[in-house]
Structure 1
Amino acid sequence: MSIPTSPPPPLSGAADLPFDLADAASYRFWTDEHVRFNDLDPVGHVNNNAFGVYFESGRVALHQSLRQAADFRRHAIVMRKITIDYLAEITYPSAVRVGTRLVRLGRTSWTTGSALFVTTKGESRCHATALSVSVLVDGASHRPIPITDDLRPALEGFL
């Protein structure tokens, strides 16, 4: 699948958002993940690539929920950009909760905000946040298309 050639929409910094990405109360959509032994790097904590996989799990689960509201037989969702802020290491074994929400809704794309939370000794702590841009593309041409009339209200529900 080809990547759109137009420049991506600018990502707002977390400081520009009307909520705190690192605050669990900012999320209504949750996905559970867990640290696998193969997620570790030689230092013994979760490798930065695994953080991206955890964020992907949350984003894909949110996108799967949209499939109930919109017809995706002729469309696809592609990742345009992601920015991750690493706040604390994650170790093995750990259960990870991924909070996901929409931050911005554009004409052909949307920005998703996410955070990874780990509970240790009864205290939940945010270990990373992410902002990512997803683009709706035509399945045949692989070119960006406007967000469809059936998809827009479903996306708005996650703002």
Structure 2
Amino acid sequence: MSVPPSFSQAPLPPGPGAADPPFDLAEAASYGFWTDEHVRFNDLDPVGHVNNNAFGVYFESGRVALHHALRARVDMRGHAIVMRKITIDYLAEITYPNAVRVGTRVARLGRTSWTTGSGLFVGDRCHATALSVSVLVDAASHRPTPIPDDLRSALEGFL
């Protein structure tokens, strides 16, 4: 089955978070915020390494932990954080058993959103990187809302 030319030849427009961040996502020194994870047997695929979907779960753990840290500093009542986009670059396979560390930081701030950069490490080696865009929305209307000054200040602490 062939892919229609409109899918295979049309370049994707750059979106928020499309540009490279001002630091190396694959370098552990780029991160000051860490979350520990471990490879579960059910994370494996038939090939015997960690399935690509499990990488997303590990990155989610880091991102959610960072958002939890923000909520400890800022009153988020009336707001919710939603995911707009995530891009994962797979650099090396991960096998079972293993301890995994997720480095997470804010890469850039916008008016209603921020880009989070993450690295997935086993020991000193980076096995994957991710850029994700989170949007602050009003909890009642579910519409994007400008980042308040206190939240912006807290996010800047993770830049």
Q: TM-score, normalised by structure 2?
A: 0.89
Matched, 1:150 2:150: yes
SS in 1 for 2:73: coil
4+ residue segments displaced more than 4 Å: none
Gaps of 5+ in 2: 1-12
Could you tell me which residue of structure 1 aligns to residue 16 of structure 2?
10
Could you tell me which residue of structure 1 aligns to residue 8 of structure 2?
none
CA distance in 1: counterparts of 2:42 and 2:14, whole angstroms: 33
SS in 1 for 2:72: coil
Amino acid of the residue matched to residue 27 of structure 2?
Answer: D
Could you tell me which residue of structure 2 aligns to residue 127 of structure 1?
127
Change (3 A) 1:137 1:130: same
What number of residue pairs does the alignment pair up? 147
Q: Does the aligned pair in 2 maintain the 1:8–1:80 contact within 8 Å?
A: no
Matched, 1:81 2:81: no
Quote the RMSD (CA, aligned, Å): 1.4
SS in 1 for 2:29: helix
Query: 1:64-106: CA deviations, max 9, x gaps?
Result: 0001221112100000000000000000000000000011000
Matched, 1:53 2:50: no
Gaps of 5+ in 1: 1-6
Could you tell me which residue of structure 2 aligns to residue 101 of structure 1?
105
Q: TM-score, normalised by structure 1?
A: 0.89
The percent identity for this pair of structures is 84
CA distance in 1: counterparts of 2:18 and 2:64, whole angstroms: 22
1:8: Cα distance to partner?
9.0
